[in-house]
Amino acid sequence: MKKYILNFEVTGCMNQCKHCYCYDLKNKRKLIDSDKAIKLAQEFREKTNSDVSVYLLQEQTYHPDFLEIVKSLLENNFMNKGSNNLLVTNGFGLVHEKNNLNRLKEFYSTVKVTLFGTKDVHDSFVNRDGHFDEIMMLTKALKELNVKIIWQIMFLRNNGKDISELINIAKNLEVDHYFVTSEFHYSGHLLSNPNIIPLENDFEEIDFKVYELEENRIFPEYKALEFLNGTEDSQIEKVTLDNLYIDSNFDVYPLSNIEPESKIGNLEDDMNTIVNMLNDNQLLPDKLRERLALNYKDLIESYLDNQSKEMYTAQSLFEKLAYIKQKEIN
């Protein structure tokens, strides 16, 4: 059975992380009509005869009815029931709304937060003083409640020493699981401001493991041809047509391309048109059809910067090169 993920933007976000894919949207706090969102998701499931999961974005805990919406998603089979339910959050609505924290265990067994460094580095990256301290408070509170806590630690350009310090803090706080990653969802604002991407020499002399490095999945751009040998177009996700972003007005975009030219319709007004587009890619907006037609090898031949020591995975390098190409076309 075909699977779709519908990501509903249920509210805004108080942070302004430098890499955020929804950079232009995040500070406008508009509450979605959650009953309508669930009805539309049901209708979409029927029309596509598919298995539909619903995720809540941007900072879902910031929505005043956060746990009521989650309850309704569970009742309507848009979320898995069971012991492995994971909440991905920046923690705001758990730290500032004790009722959410106290009821959390009814719905989630594990919480994942993301850190960009120790206090000053982290708060500067998310553009909000006090967020690092909130995460520390949340970590301690979850330990007391016996809810698992995972730290995703982002390795940025020049923050190696800071990450080492952060790992010591994680050990002291007995964080259940932490891992260091340097793969960003390389889209949105980051495309025009890539100076947080680590460079090859940032990976020298670090005393911690970086997930993508361990998996041999990350390489400096100038060595891309060597690393990408054998990477087929089919291994690259060019447009996420099974993973859709729906804003608070019910406008629908592929999660990979949240921008006006990539809107595929309005879930309330144009559901049939959207379903037809998902079944026949020739009906998609020009920008998305252009992107689907891109050839990775051609992109590399035309746009690879042989001097660049920025570190990429195959997918994130595709995002960078596709962005350059599409800027040229449009």
Binding site for ligand SF4 (CB under 6 A): 13, 15-17, 20, 22, 26, 58-59, 90, 126
CB nearer to ligand SF4: give 150 or 324. 150
CB nearer to ligand SF4: give 17 or 111. 17
Report, in Å, the least distance between residue 301 CB and ligand SF4.
33
DSSP result, 117-144:
SSHHHHHHHHT-TTHHHHHHHHHHHHHH
Report, in Å, the least distance between residue 198 CB and ligand SF4.
18
CB nearer to ligand SF4: give 61 or 313. 61
Report, in Å, the least distance between residue 113 CB and ligand SF4.
9
Report, in Å, the least distance between residue 106 CB and ligand SF4.
24
- Report the amino acid identity of residue 123: D
CB nearer to ligand SF4: give 60 or 313. 60
Report, in Å, the least distance between residue 77 CB and ligand SF4.
26
CB burial of residue 159 (10 Å; 0-12, 13-18, 19+)? buried
CB nearer to ligand SF4: give 93 or 220. 93
CB nearer to ligand SF4: give 90 or 118. 90
Residues with Cβ < 8 Å from 87, sequence gap 6 or more?
61, 104, 107, 108, 110, 111, 112
Q: Are 72 and 46 in contact (CB under 8 A)?
A: no
Q: Pick the closest to residue 66 from 26, 107, 36, 28 (CA basis).
A: 107
* Phi-psi label, residue 230: left if phi above 0, alpha if psi -120 to 50, beta otherwise: left
Report, in Å, the least distance between residue 18 CB and ligand SF4.
9
Report, in Å, the least distance between residue 56 CB and ligand SF4.
11
3-class DSSP state of 9: strand
Strands (E), the chain: 3-9, 51-57, 86-88, 110-115, 148-154, 177-181, 219-220, 243-246, 251-254, 265-266, 311-312
Q: Please report how the helices 34-48 and 271-279 are oriented relative to each other, as an axis angle in degrees rounded to 10.
A: 40
CB nearer to ligand SF4: give 157 or 161. 157
The position carrying tokens 């709304």 is: 97
Q: Where are the alpha helices (DSSP H) in 53-97?
A: 66-75, 92-95
Report, in Å, the least distance between residue 63 CB and ligand SF4.
13
CB nearer to ligand SF4: give 58 or 262. 58
The CA distance from 171 to 246, in Å, is 38
